[in-house]
Structure 1
Amino acid sequence: MTTRRTSALLLTISPLALLAAAPAAAQQNQEAVQEANVGQAAAQGDTPDQSTIVVTGTRRNDRTVADSPVPVDVISAESLGNTGFTEVNRALTQEVPSFNFPQPSITDGTDVIRPATLRGLGPDQTLVLINGKRRHSASLLNINGSVGRGTSAVDINMIPTIALSRVEVLRDGAAAQYGSDAIAGVINFQLRSARSGGKASVTYGKYYTDVDGVQNYNGVQANADGSPVLTPDGVLTLNYTGEERKRRDGRTVTLAAVVAIPLGAEGQVNVAGEWQDRNPTNRTGADPRRQYNLIGTALDPRERTINRFSHRYGDAGTEDYKVWVNGDHPIGSAEYYFFGNANRRDGQSAGFFRQPLNANNITSIYPDGFLPLINTKTIDLAVTVGLRGDLSGWRWDASLQHGRNKTDFLITNTLNRSLGPTSPTEFDSGGLQYDQTLANVDVTRDLALGFASKTSLSLGAEYRRERFDIRPGEVGSYGNGTFGGSPGAQVFPGFQPLIAGQRVDQPHSRNNKSLYAEIDSDLSDAINIQGALRYENYSDFGSDLNWKLAGRLEPVNGIALRASASSGFRAPSLQQQFFAAASTQNVSGVLLDTVTLPVSNPAAKALGAKELTAEQSQSYSAGLVFSAIPRLNVTLDIYQVQIDDRIVVTENLGAFGTTAQNAAVRAVLAAAGFPTVTAARFFINGIDTRTRGLDFVTTYRVADFVGGRLNLTGGFNYNKTKITRNAANQGSVSTIPGLVLFGRQESLRLVQGQPRTKINTSLDFERQWFGATLRATRYGKVLAAGADRFNDINLEAKTITDLELRFKPLGDRMSLALGGNNIFDVYPTKLPVGRGVDPDTGAARNYSANNYFLPYSSFSPFGFNGRYLYGRVSIDF
């Protein structure tokens, strides 16, 4: 059967993905019917054709993926499941070239709640939908030095793959259609909606790796008089063995199941559950720094016996419990529907190891130093109920939903130095909570226009209320005692009720009202146009009107052109407006006691803060779709996204300015009640950016290859962001002359902290009882920016190869999979150590000693864990 234009937009999708992608998730209860059709197609060995229906990017109920005027990727749950990683974010980055999921470490709560990005933009600039309805964001603000710094995004990993029927990724600005946040695009997760059957699976995996460039050691060198033998950069000389360190860690067990239960004669409810237990990984190197004070000029004997693999650098340990429900049932001439989730995630990550001689250690409590641990408990709850039907030719849909995300922090194996020898070693540091309540009404009608073959008009209204709360920690978690040193729990001081004299533990809320109109018209079989207008009014920053135009022209059968233009916006989140906390940050290897201030705080205003306004965007795209050759499909899309008044976090002011500027910042902080804090930061509408890129996708199918079906896919993304205006580097906005609010390091992280190029390729083969998936993903160069050029690290392009083999030893109902992710054990570029040459002065300089025990950059786009091997058993019933 012909595939013409269908798969041109399907990126790196296996045959199972294509077979499962056909279910239409159209809003008028067509999903269950389509899902049954897909099962029949799979049994017959067919693949979906150009009639595959999408519901993202349009409100028509018959728009196919091939005829969409904007690029939409359709990825089935089966395709997402053909990997050892059971996190949705990790699976998506293998499928979509413009989707990136870095895996940072030692970034506090971000170790456990990791954000993802689309088209190189911010994590909060992609709108996430569940069954076409807006999903609430996480309460956590990613405030540390990682990709997505300063954002609060949806925690996609809360969604179990087994609960899904498919995922639709709209790679185009869509704020006029869906509202704030849809600047980079939209990801719509469609939940499974079958009337019978189910599936259960058990996945077990573990890392088996030789850590590239990280060696074991068997002692410390000393001179005859016992004094240390130092390296040229001033650290202890260790006796390295020459053998790379082997690690067998990160054991992950995932139990997942979904069951469909009929409701009456036509309704259904699907209940999905997943339990995942992941042990932490650790890729630290040996710490060659001196741990104890010298005894005269001689080494303390404990230097020879202390464990120098004292840090924890890698994936956090997590335990997830996930329950998701999706159902619907006719009621008279209409239909009611409901879906929701209850999730809990317990996570544990580590901070920097506090050496025994560290000024903030108390040796009577920790004579050999301590590794403070951040324990997080995240509760995520959501429910949506709605009613839809037809009335006098209008298809209508009314719904009400509420979502809540709450994260609490318990800090263990720590102390509050200022409390002295009686300090507790465990503190409740408080927590964060975000709530969203939303009500909307959508109506759609087909119009009979003489000049068009089919036209649909959609109208809608939405009301959204948001709330953000900070729960203070216990007094000891942030209190300043009488013994000196840094106050508060080491690594994560508790949230305080007062920050610089301003009460911050009050609930903050706002509401938003919006109206939209959308028209989608086929002027002929070859021409489609689409337009949308949306008016938004926020109670805290005012109103905005956005528009979108898109069109598609197919002058020759099998060759089509498409283009779009739109405006967009993103309102500053409540987290960005009101988050306030003190913490210890690692900035270019230096530990800083830092305070994050709300923009309304007098101390922040003295340093240059202003009230935040919404980000404004202009997006343009143009593309070519080629499907004139049977079984070959090619798409090419170019795009540009211009964002004005982009919201960013300032530099850590007071840390890396001139001596006079640092002193002036610290004087402001001392006057505000932070005499021991060395740096401060806050949010600003600081920059304008322009992102330009290209998406190329090709798919080729062989219907009969050695008796089976073979699918070859390839995808390429080029993405470049440039800062076109930086208003934050003008000292006139601050009372401190020449103070740079958003300077070199943060600028480079934003524009070069993600790969400029990414290539996804895959080979999928299915024949009777055997199947195989081979994937290769090439991540382009990344710059891990430092405070100056000497500390900049260029991470080389790397290719990660994944392989999975599937067997059905007992028939179609049972499947056994064996595989590996990163089977060639590839690691990112290792950070330099020792002495180097300053490119600006030509003088010799020391690289940070941290590079010995933190050997890889957290900006690696594929992490730094090495080879992962796994097995999976699945049963369909």
Structure 2
Amino acid sequence: MQRRPLALALALALASPAALAQSPTADEPAPRDRATTLDTLIVTGTRVADRTVAESASPIDIISPETLESTGTVELATALSRALPSLNFPRPAITDGTDAVRPAQLRGLAPDQVLVLVNGKRRHTTALINLNGSQGRGSSPVDLNAIPIAAIERVEVLRDGASAQYGSDAIAGVINIVLKGSDAGGSIAARYGQYSAGDGEQYQVSGDGGIALGEAGFLHLAAQAGHQDQTDRARPFQGTPTASSPPLGAVVQRYGDPEVDSRAVSYNAEISPAEGVVFYSFGTYSKRDALSNGFFRPAGDNRNIPEIYPDGFLPNIRNIADDRAGVIGLRGTTAGGTGIDISFNHGINHLTFDVENSLNRTLGPTSPTNFHAGALEVSQNVLNLDFNKILDVGLEYPVAVAWGAEWRGEKFNQSPGEPASYADANLILPDGSRAPPGAQVFPGFQPSNAGQHDRHSYSFYLDAEADLGDRFSAGLAARYENYSDFGSTTSGKLSARYAISDAVALRGTVSTGFRAPSLQQQHFQSTSTNFIGGVPFEVRTFAVDDPVAVALGAEPLKAEESTNVSLGLVLQPVDALYVTIDAYQIDIDDRIILSENLVGDAVRDFLERPEIGIFGVNGGRYFTNAIDTRTRGVDLIGTYRWALGAGNLDFTAGFNYNDTDIRRIAPNPPELETGDLDLERIGRVEQGRVTVGAPSDKLFLSGVWNSGSWTLSAAATRYGEFEVLNGDPARDQTFGAEWTLDVSAAYAIGGWDFTVGADNVFDAYPDEVIFVNSNSGQLPYSAASPFGFNGAFAYGRIGYRW
């Protein structure tokens, strides 16, 4: 039979390059023990209990905790972006709550088109909806950084559509975070770092440990806590001085990462009271306190009160994110060989908005300067009943069948702020205009914005996987899902793998998928300040069923629908060299997108009509299923091991090319073409964000040398060009490709390990923003930069394992 040699080749090619390039711990095999590494069991993309990396028909990256820690960051999403060429994680600034809860993109698609699992169970999303100018605008994805790295055994990333297996959100792929589950041993570590510019100081402590529960159980605990200071790359004001601007050359703005205090804990437990029966439970808790910056209000600005801030003021937003999740379940096997897994999954994310160093202009000199602006909360409850069985149906090999049902209940709550945060005292300014109401930078959620919204869904699925010969295997999946708020949908998937020889294999999938509109996209409402073309606008986000939104052309949201086709080639041309190439096409119909910021005097006049009565707002927006897109791309991964007399040298290369086109834009609503509005619902800005806002390609090259107690590593990454489009084509800008280099050196002795390293060691920055887009020179870098704009970062780490 050819399966084992081929399986080893496939698994090595499928494994994440980062996972192959690291030093072993005391509890895991050295990298040269390829057979052990390649036989790693996976739970992503399959319902079969004993499926390995080598037997997967779809590309799956396996990323270990050592790889995550070696990236030099304490954020899970940042670490994944440095290990995966297809994942993009920019670091936007001055984007309200998005500064605190940043979204990640897989294959250039929306952040909420990626499903996140923990131990194979669906993770809840964040309460935040990203609104203000960042990649992922309009999405409410999972907060990956709420999960402590110290708790992670490995991360499995399925780069393939999987809605037929897991339901909504799995259009771009699946990220499954597997928690540590040993009953002994542990680790503790301390880390410190700072940017070369002298700011952004970071420190963190973390640890984990396992405890045996009787003879057939374990409890594994993990915790981490840390702090990071703000970074600031803002520059002096270089515009034309006016009565309502800062003085020429004044440095009044801040632009960079927020100040963050964070802590997180987790547990993972199993106990087996009888053979074949396992009770399990796991959970996480995290709290993040993030202080970010808004736009400066000059002394003479009509949004300022000189009696309170004679020199103007820089308002701040404080977001406190509480994230809790827990799963309890029972799995076992019947006497007839049927596997059963019953589980209950609860998750909740609560996000508060507090405004500091601000004021409410309409309240005059007695206005408070700090406000509670409200809170958002999402919760999820999931009941799963899953079965699996190996059936002998007369084929050369048995068929693995899985089936099951799921019920899911979701809630979204939006709570109002304190009255002063949204109050409108109807103040008329000396120029005859009406003073903007509410707390500056982020007016509080009004009672009319507040609400409690819920829905439920149920689904049924069926999977079948089989080896149809020594060289050919295939899988088939189907899923029916029904939602209480918009109806039902059915999706399917066909996957196959054929080994042409021990050195060459083909794999491919065809699938349909869907993503249900989130409750936040349907019901969230708020007002915030947006700079558009260098001019500040107060923009209201309307719920799609709000009469004002309907008057502007809004319609009820429906589910996105996708078709995903991929074809891959696995090669082992010579010993120790493994290459995989996977091409893909993802068509998404009725893609949910946040409309353009519909701004201007005509919009203000429309909102101030007596029958509407919204004052202090000169812009609006809402969610819509207005576009169809097609994403085409290719992933290439290659690894090579060079055995030296004094150790091993591992080379890794990874490349992703990604291109998204808009195939259809729904006709502009007639409501936006009547009267004086003359506005485009989906214009150049949003089209550019979807099609060219993320890098078109990403390449990384890395090498890791292991010899005795020493491990030296270097990784060079090239981020391809991206573009930012504007309403005025003359303000469009293309940002060129950039290289970064990360290096580290580690020494291990007697359970201790000592690491020093530097990320972006050559202090690379993205191209500077042209002056007309830089807020008068104050914001020199694009928030869409895929590696941020903070410069070089140096760090040290001390750890101990037992």
Q: Normalized against structure 2, the TM-score is what?
A: 0.95
Judging changes above 3 Å, is the alpha-carbon distance between structure 1 residues 634 and 733 closer, same or farther for their aligned structure 2 residues?
same
C-alpha separation in 2, matches of 1:603 and 1:261: 58
Aligned with 1:856 (options 755, 759, 781) = 781
Q: Which amino acid aligns with 1:679?
A: G
Q: Does the aligned pair in 1 maintain the 2:755–2:796 contact within 8 Å?
A: yes
In structure 2, the residue matched to 1:320 is 262
1:460 corresponds to 2:404: yes
1:8 corresponds to 2:13: yes
Give, in angstroms, the shift of residue 71 of structure 1: 0.7
1:480 corresponds to 2:420: no
Q: Does the aligned pair in 2 maintain the 1:11–1:698 contact within 8 Å?
A: no
Aligned with 2:91 (options 79, 85, 103) = 103
Deviations 1:633-669 (A, max 9, x none): 11001000000000111111133xxx7x54664456x
In structure 1, the residue matched to 2:305 is 362
Aligned with 1:250 (options 200, 203, 215) = 200
C-alpha separation in 2, matches of 1:138 and 1:109: 11
In structure 2, the residue matched to 1:282 is 232
Give, in angstroms, the shift of residue 711 of structure 1: 1.1
**Residue aligned with 2:97, SS:** helix
Give, in angstroms, the shift of residue 787 of structure 1: 2.0
Structure 2 counterparts to residues 419-568 of structure 1, below 5 A: 419-484=363-428, 485-498=435-448, 504-568=449-513
Q: Does the aligned pair in 2 maintain the 1:19–1:47 contact within 8 Å?
A: no
**Residue aligned with 2:150, SS:** helix
**Residue aligned with 1:853, SS:** coil
**Residue aligned with 2:264, SS:** strand
Q: Does the aligned pair in 1 maintain the 2:76–2:145 contact within 8 Å?
A: yes
Q: Which amino acid aligns with 2:111?
A: P
Give, in angstroms, the shift of residue 728 of structure 1: 4.8
1:374 corresponds to 2:312: no
Q: Does the aligned pair in 2 maintain the 1:277–1:318 contact within 8 Å?
A: yes
Aligned with 1:727 (options 666, 687, 698) = 666
C-alpha separation in 2, matches of 1:651 and 1:132: 37
**Residue aligned with 1:850, SS:** coil
C-alpha separation in 2, matches of 1:875 and 1:573: 43
Superposition CA RMSD, Å: 2.0
1:644 corresponds to 2:579: no
C-alpha separation in 2, matches of 1:9 and 1:418: 60
Structure 2 counterparts to residues 43-82 of structure 1, below 5 A: 48-82=36-70
1:350 corresponds to 2:288: no
Deviations 1:679-704 (A, max 9, x none): 000011110000000011101112x2
Q: Does the aligned pair in 2 maintain the 1:688–1:723 contact within 8 Å?
A: yes
Q: Which amino acid aligns with 1:165?
A: E
**Residue aligned with 1:507, SS:** strand
Structure 2 counterparts to residues 20-169 of structure 1, below 5 A: 39=27, 41-42=29-30, 48-169=36-157
Structure 1: stretches of 5+ with no match in the other structure: 21-37, 209-246, 295-299, 499-503, 834-846
**Residue aligned with 1:120, SS:** coil
Q: Does the aligned pair in 2 maintain the 1:466–1:511 contact within 8 Å?
A: yes
In structure 2, the residue matched to 1:876 is 801
Deviations 1:301-351 (A, max 9, x none): x958xx822111000111111011111010223000000011110000000
Q: Which amino acid aligns with 1:830?
A: E
Structure 2 counterparts to residues 659-698 of structure 1, below 5 A: 662=603, 665-666=606-607, 671-698=611-638
C-alpha separation in 1, matches of 2:212 and 2:514: 42
**Residue aligned with 1:48, SS:** helix
Q: Which amino acid aligns with 1:455?
A: V
Give, in angstroms, the shift of residue 9 of structure 1: 1.5
In structure 2, the residue matched to 1:339 is 282
**Residue aligned with 2:490, SS:** strand
Give, in angstroms, the shift of residue 127 of structure 1: 0.1
Structure 2 counterparts to residues 748-763 of structure 1, below 5 A: 748-763=688-703
C-alpha separation in 2, matches of 1:849 and 1:114: 22
Deviations 1:475-503 (A, max 9, x none): 110111143411100000000111xxxxx
In structure 2, the residue matched to 1:716 is 655
C-alpha separation in 2, matches of 1:689 and 1:479: 42
**Residue aligned with 2:9, SS:** coil
Deviations 1:602-626 (A, max 9, x none): 1100100001000000110001011
In structure 2, the residue matched to 1:202 is 190
Give, in angstroms, the shift of residue 450 of structure 1: 1.9
1:390 corresponds to 2:395: no
C-alpha separation in 1, matches of 2:243 and 2:671: 46
**Residue aligned with 1:249, SS:** coil
Give, in angstroms, the shift of residue 733 of structure 1: 7.4
Give, in angstroms, the shift of residue 291 of structure 1: 6.3
C-alpha separation in 1, matches of 2:212 and 2:64: 23
Aligned with 2:252 (options 286, 293, 310) = 310
Q: Does the aligned pair in 1 maintain the 2:29–2:37 contact within 8 Å?
A: no
C-alpha separation in 1, matches of 2:34 and 2:635: 28
C-alpha separation in 2, matches of 1:49 and 1:628: 20
Q: Does the aligned pair in 2 maintain the 1:691–1:722 contact within 8 Å?
A: yes
Q: Does the aligned pair in 2 maintain the 1:804–1:817 contact within 8 Å?
A: yes
Deviations 1:799-849 (A, max 9, x none): 1110010012xx24000000000000000001122xxxxxxxxxxxxx246
C-alpha separation in 1, matches of 2:533 and 2:14: 41
Give, in angstroms, the shift of residue 790 of structure 1: 1.4
More displaced, 757-766 or 11-20?
11-20
Give, in angstroms, the shift of residue 767 of structure 1: 1.1
Q: Which amino acid aligns with 1:691?
A: T
Q: Does the aligned pair in 2 maintain the 1:4–1:49 contact within 8 Å?
A: no
In structure 2, the residue matched to 1:747 is 687
Q: Does the aligned pair in 2 maintain the 1:338–1:383 contact within 8 Å?
A: yes
**Residue aligned with 1:560, SS:** strand
C-alpha separation in 2, matches of 1:552 and 1:572: 33
More displaced, 356-365 or 119-128?
356-365
* Identical-residue share of aligned pairs (%): 42
Aligned with 2:735 (options 777, 795, 813) = 795
C-alpha separation in 2, matches of 1:68 and 1:18: 25
Q: Does the aligned pair in 2 maintain the 1:607–1:665 contact within 8 Å?
A: no
**Residue aligned with 1:477, SS:** helix
Q: Does the aligned pair in 2 maintain the 1:371–1:413 contact within 8 Å?
A: yes
1:600 corresponds to 2:545: yes
Aligned with 1:825 (options 758, 763, 775) = 763
Q: Which amino acid aligns with 1:699?
A: T
Q: Does the aligned pair in 2 maintain the 1:174–1:186 contact within 8 Å?
A: yes
Aligned with 2:572 (options 624, 627, 633) = 627
**Residue aligned with 1:403, SS:** strand
Q: Does the aligned pair in 2 maintain the 1:643–1:688 contact within 8 Å?
A: yes
C-alpha separation in 2, matches of 1:10 and 1:665: 56
C-alpha separation in 2, matches of 1:17 and 1:536: 42
Q: Does the aligned pair in 2 maintain the 1:607–1:735 contact within 8 Å?
A: no
Structure 2: stretches of 5+ with no match in the other structure: 429-434
More displaced, 759-768 or 414-423?
759-768
More displaced, 546-555 or 724-733?
724-733
Deviations 1:560-596 (A, max 9, x none): 0011000000000000000001111122322101111
Judging changes above 3 Å, is the alpha-carbon distance between structure 1 residues 491 and 871 closer, same or farther for their aligned structure 2 residues?
same
Give, in angstroms, the shift of residue 729 of structure 1: 3.2
Give, in angstroms, the shift of residue 536 of structure 1: 0.2
